[in-house]
Structure 1
Amino acid sequence: MKQIKCEGERKGLTGESLDCGSFSYRLEMDWAKWPDQMRHMTVLNCCWGGGGFLYVVTGNQDVPVVVFDHDGNACKTIAQGMFGKSHSVSYTKNGTLLVADAHKNAHVIREITAEGKEVRVFGTKGVPGDSGYDFDYLETMQKRGENPTETKWNKNAASNARIDSIRRRGLPFCRPCGMIMTPDGEYFAADGYGNCAVHHFDGDGTYIKSWGAPEDFRVVHSICMDRQGRLWVADRENCRVKLFDTEGNLLAVAEGNLSRIGTVFTDDKYLYAAELDGGVTLIDLDTLEVAAQLGAPGDAVLKVHGICVDDGGNIYLATNKANENNLIRLARME
């Protein structure tokens, strides 16, 4: 197993630019042109799809998915009323979208068309997998005189107690975080808020198997596949990224000078790890070495929950903030 050491010197924003080695980006805070009635949406994630459209999930039940063009204009909304909390979105080879519903009572992932029509539902709505997860576990701990685990970046007692309540790997799903479709048409899911598992489904949506345990993951928050067919998984609260083959064998671990990992994304050259507490780390897919670490943990502007990259190498950041800086573009400069 390879250890990917993320230990380079990091620096924050310099005016409106962000640089690391040969990587240089212009910060475009106002790229997204939100309609007045949608300003200050909480943006959780995004992905590019067919026709040059960016699909953005907000977590808002009335406006769960907003569609932008390449110039940042909001074109339409889809899937109104279908999700309790649309947490992530990925585009499939079939031209559909996979949207994980992270609402505490949902426990499903929906595959929908680009127009917002339902294709398939993974999981059973309202029925959580048996991981032991308890949304109100902080109250239980307080009655016992116990304190939840506290990590470097997460100081939210209720959140940490919920993670502590997970006792075992459960079946799909318990507040899932994300799903992808592979080039072969199979599916892999990150089941993280109330579980500690990666789940594998075949092309018909039939469950195959899972891997993971509480000692392996502390919030399985995102998953993606690279061009070599390997799976990158965000182990959020442990501030690391794990690399697996499709059978669940661990190939590499990236850790070091990272904050919590919000989302992982790959293009043809790099793995992009969005850091929830500040920054973006790029890992070369061929060498499995760090290519760049943009921004620094603690950087308030670059607290990134979701990330995707377009064909020009421009990076799009979903910041999980209810303000006008909720969807930022880092424009690649030569």
Structure 2
Amino acid sequence: MFGNLRMVVPLKQIRPISVIMAVLTTLFVLLPTQSATLASGRTTGLSEKHLYKLDINWPQFPENFTGEVFGVAVDSVTGTVYIAQRGESVPKILKFTEQGYFLQAWNTSTIEMPHGIFATNVFPETSLWVTDVGNGKYGHTIKQYSPSGKLIQILGTPGISGSSLNPLQFDQPAEVFVSRKREIYIVDGDGGLNNRLIKLEKGFGIDWIKGEKGDKPSQFYIPHSVTEDNVGRIWVADRGNKRLQVFDAETGEWIGAWTSCFKGDGPSSVRLTQDNKYLIVAQLNINRVMFLSAPPIGDIGVCHIVDTIQLSDDVKPHLVDVSHKTGAIYIAEIGAQQAQKFVPNDRK
């Protein structure tokens, strides 16, 4: 009866009286809304058994979220989940285990307004990369930290926005992705001067750069998220143009774009599932997370929606990340001021 319910209540609304009562309350309150969704035909062609389900026990103590949650990153090797949040007098980074236990809060003054975060664990180095869109003396930069919050290095020119490549400057860099080869992909900017995709070599030299403001191939309007698939393609959430653009990781050559899946809202985040079968795409303004079939090597074809998670109104999913150990998906939600965990539906 309730197999297709995908509306999700923010965790802060679930009191720790009884997990069973929370689930029953969620189903009872949201049943009319979901029935309307089914009647509208929005789930036509989607799988009857959904790919992921909400883990209502994560985190163990949601009151640790004290600000607006903008980003989430998973270190799959250590089982650590990092949360980036904004707000006055709140720690900018929170650390949890994948089981939901709170570990640490960073009260660093070197992060002004975190936007995107990415965790790397390439032996012997474990670190966290944070994009900072603030306008103060540390803003418009990408910073690398140790797991305990020690600042390791800064990419960009702190406190100065710009488009220069020498010295390297950013203007509101949205997200960073570090490949297994330690190559760095950056989407710059979240509404600033720049609309570009930059690839840095392992030694931080510029390998190639694509983009300017526009809606033609290799142009962007608010490039917001970036990831690499398992066949050497770079996927960019071109949010303002309501499309995903795809590039060759080695050469930067434009491969294609998907637009037909984004009529209602542009993509704000893109990642791949643990098994590389699906692209996970968040749509902030319509409170939805989609799963798109990941195309095989070669022509990307057209996008095909396999499944969706329809979140409650005003949850506003911003960025997502995936545990490559457990397959769990973590969603940073600005409106709900929390992060939520979804697990593959064939697991408890």
TM-score range, shorter chain: 0.7 to 0.9
Q: Which residue of 1 aligns with 2:291?
A: 282
SS state of the match for residue 213, structure 1? Answer: coil
SS state of the match for residue 173, structure 2? Answer: coil
Question: Is 1:212 paired with 2:218?
Answer: no
Distance change >3 Å, CA 290–CA 35, structure 1 → 2: closer
Q: Partner amino acid for 1:69? A: T
Q: Which residue of 2 aligns with 1:234?
A: 237
Distance change >3 Å, CA 11–CA 39, structure 1 → 2: closer
The more displaced of 194-203 and 249-258 is 249-258
Q: Is the contact made by 1:172 and 1:199 (CA closer than 8 Å) also made in structure 2?
A: no
Q: Is the contact made by 1:172 and 1:191 (CA closer than 8 Å) also made in structure 2?
A: no
Q: Is the contact made by 2:222 and 2:238 (CA closer than 8 Å) also made in structure 1?
A: yes
How far has the Cα of 1:219 moved from its partner? 0.5
SS state of the match for residue 256, structure 1? Answer: coil
Provide the identity percentage: 22
Q: Which residue of 1 aligns with 2:20?
A: none
Q: Partner amino acid for 1:253? A: A
Distance change >3 Å, CA 87–CA 29, structure 1 → 2: farther
Q: Partner amino acid for 1:252? A: G
Q: Is the contact made by 2:261 and 2:305 (CA closer than 8 Å) also made in structure 1?
A: no
The count of residues paired between Structure 1 and Structure 2 equals 283
How far has the Cα of 1:290 moved from its partner? 2.5
Q: Which residue of 2 aligns with 1:154?
A: none
SS state of the match for residue 177, structure 1? Answer: strand
The more displaced of 306-315 and 224-233 is 306-315
Q: Please, which runs of 5 or more residues in structure 1 have no aligned partner? A: 1-9, 132-169
SS state of the match for residue 240, structure 2? Answer: helix
Question: Quick one: which of 128, 153, 165 aligns to 1:120?
Answer: 153
Q: Which residue of 2 aligns with 1:90?
A: 118
Q: Which residue of 1 aligns with 2:142?
A: 109
Q: Partner amino acid for 2:129? A: L
Distance change >3 Å, CA 64–CA 218, structure 1 → 2: same
Q: Is the contact made by 2:84 and 2:92 (CA closer than 8 Å) also made in structure 1?
A: yes
Q: Is the contact made by 2:132 and 2:141 (CA closer than 8 Å) also made in structure 1?
A: yes
- 1:245-324 matches, within 5 Å, as 245-246=248-249, 247-258=251-262, 259-266=265-272, 267-269=274-276, 270-277=278-285, 278-287=287-296, 288=300, 289-295=303-309, 300=313, 303-310=316-323, 311-321=325-335, 323=337
Q: Is the contact made by 2:72 and 2:339 (CA closer than 8 Å) also made in structure 1?
A: no
Q: Which residue of 2 aligns with 1:182?
A: 179
Distance change >3 Å, CA 39–CA 178, structure 1 → 2: closer
How far has the Cα of 1:301 moved from its partner? 5.8
Q: Which residue of 2 aligns with 1:198?
A: 197
* TM-score, scaled to structure 2: 0.73
How far has the Cα of 1:184 moved from its partner? 1.5
Distance change >3 Å, CA 78–CA 98, structure 1 → 2: same
Distance 2:306 2:330 in 1: 16
SS state of the match for residue 172, structure 2? Answer: coil
Distance 1:85 1:237 in 2: 21
SS state of the match for residue 237, structure 1? Answer: helix
Q: Is the contact made by 1:23 and 1:292 (CA closer than 8 Å) also made in structure 2?
A: no
- CA RMSD in angstroms, aligned pairs only: 2.8
How far has the Cα of 1:302 moved from its partner? 5.3
* TM-score, scaled to structure 1: 0.76
Post-superposition CA distance 1:160-195 (Å, at most 9, x none): xxxxxxxxxx96301101112222222111101211
Q: Which residue of 1 aligns with 2:54?
A: 27
Distance 1:47 1:224 in 2: 13
How far has the Cα of 1:30 moved from its partner? 5.7
